[in-house]
Chains A and B, each alone.
Chain A
């Protein structure tokens, strides 16, 4: 028996004996000497960074003294410590300017989650059984180093794989350097909603392999093709700030916003004009708009420059895309196309953007190139009110795709001895057809740096839990959302609650124990040192008007939450000649006679890609459009529902060529009759007490189709059929006014 266990048991036994049922054993905990100077009741505000989506918003954390149960040196006790109490946007941060989205607000619950992994774990049961034994950091690191040194000695190519969420900054540098020295694959970055199609399109059209920074605030006309830019796409808080300004921030001037999509998204709900378009026809529609603008001499075809020249038939004025020729395929009336084109051409600046399902068809890259050409024709690229490209991190596309890696490993073509996992849950977030789970089962040793047991880390042999973001050093180099160069940094906002260590620190420690070249390639002892080194380099490169030396620069950046340029910056475009592309019709998996409906997964405003389904706030906040809580649903048009004799709340079975799932039906007028939609996020089999066994996961039934010309998943390219199977459970928020609109009419 360990000392702490003995103490705990004797404390409990003592309390029970003395008080017989009315004593709380917690009160028997010892108290540690506080590690910080704290004034009770007085809040301090510390900068931090939101890590819950790729936008990279700046935070201010309200920290107040409180009492937490913590383990120090293997001993459980009470510690008076600074605790994060509320997250706000950092007003000085150029991306979110003091504002924050609902997901960012809920970041607190990541730190205080009851199911966080409290210290290193070693698997004891069979894989996936969830049986682990708590170990100390010395033993855990030793096990990692031993596996890695065995691998190093074997000199085997590709023996190490590192699967992460898309990363930026020094964490990426450390991981890439580390993996490269093993002759391993470059790190595999994976997220369900990734931006690689848009990056590829922007690289071809504009020479920037970056997501766009859309200056909505000063635009007069915004055409969005499927992008949920006010909810989950790209940099939603920055774009929402712009949206508010476009609407009511300029007295006497109000921009118009047109949304084309198949289902009213939270963003589409705010459009001045919401127009349904056939799935995958977004590029064709954009070129039809361009056709009208060129044909009516509102703009010369040459105005679109390189972006236009990439589209076949552009210089001839896109004769094949006349509205009356494409109307049937696009599903938009020719007169509507012509009117929108004329309105947009008459407004300056006008901008077009594309995202989400519109680039997740097999022809998604073409759609994105077409919309880029339209934006260029409207003359808004690189100008206020249009699309800008901020300089950010180097924009190398990842070399290996998870899909090909998984198929190589599961087929035995590639042998991987050690797999490291960080902030990615591919078993949940990749289609079952990719065989990620089968691949993982073939890897003899898996270590995860995750803070929670999820579908992927449940397969790990060793878990080395990272701090929560609020407990950790953080840095980020957001690539969109502001025209300024932004390099965010933040020291820990609070001390760790549990026996956790930063992933980068563990990796650096392992590297130094392994020896060899690492002393040169990874010279830093800690993650903090690595970040400081990057700021020293930044000071050398950019200089500073206010800081006298690199140390002061570093100190100021920490106080402010980062460094940002005073002026907008633009990276120079590197345009390589490209060959003209022509429209390719979107391909859908599943025969339309057998599978009559398009299946449209969409990002949940609260659960995002499912990575936030473990937060009770996110589960209980009603979805903006359905008010659904604590579950998932299948969205169906009333006409479709009537035809299939499905009523609101009925349990329906959705069948694709690749799988099936069951969920309650939500009958909504905001969806096309031949489309059924489902939010991504629920359907976790193993993700804490709040998310496990709740709802169904639409990703699981997706066909493994790719966006042509990229390795990205075409997640909107699956067809399904559906039928009623019984009564389901659909929880909608009850406390609301009557369903009819109250008298809020514009006079």
Chain B
């Protein structure tokens, strides 16, 4: 009877789908390393991956250029990736939804604790650099006026023009708060420029002050100076590898591999690597390999 046939069809479909879903487990001894979708993240992901490949017998699968923190977090939760590098400040506000803090030790401790209790993720020690916002001026201005901190620069702000990216202008912990804390008053309202054009405008003297990231490649390659955030306005964004606890339990050698990266990348070194990839167009895995070799970690 038709009905019997219908039942068979439906059961077959269900069975097929369940069987497929059950197959949804990774092949044997594989670790999946993820990264967000900008060159620095791909570099860090590649460094993690190569380290694990060098130090353990595990196969590493790369899942880079995931579009943002939320996606990486979801992928980590679902086990689709096993590790990626996050920034402590981002983890604190965007993922844990905790209020902003500026003491880097506190932030690290809090993130480590909550990641363990809420998600069973292990926050590994910082890789050594702080990719926070950088307020940048030309080197010649810094030397001429003898300024090195934002407080000192604030005195000259009324004579300067500034340019920022759209997000920095809009974020409450971006320009509005910065202007308030340091008493910045520019000659005219800051221009909003595409991120890629900010440094160009600065170097061409169309503007005198911009906000970038402290590990931007151009900072290593041009005569640009980061003004020190002496009032600690910006929250810390230390780069920390996040790893699923169950992976560390299953493969303890992964912990050792990542531990040895702690503190090995300085801000300047990150800038240099970023410039090599974004500025010189070199291959990401090559740059990562070179770095590891220099550090004796390959």
Pair from one complex: no
Q: Chain A residues in contact with chain B, CB under 8 A?
A: none
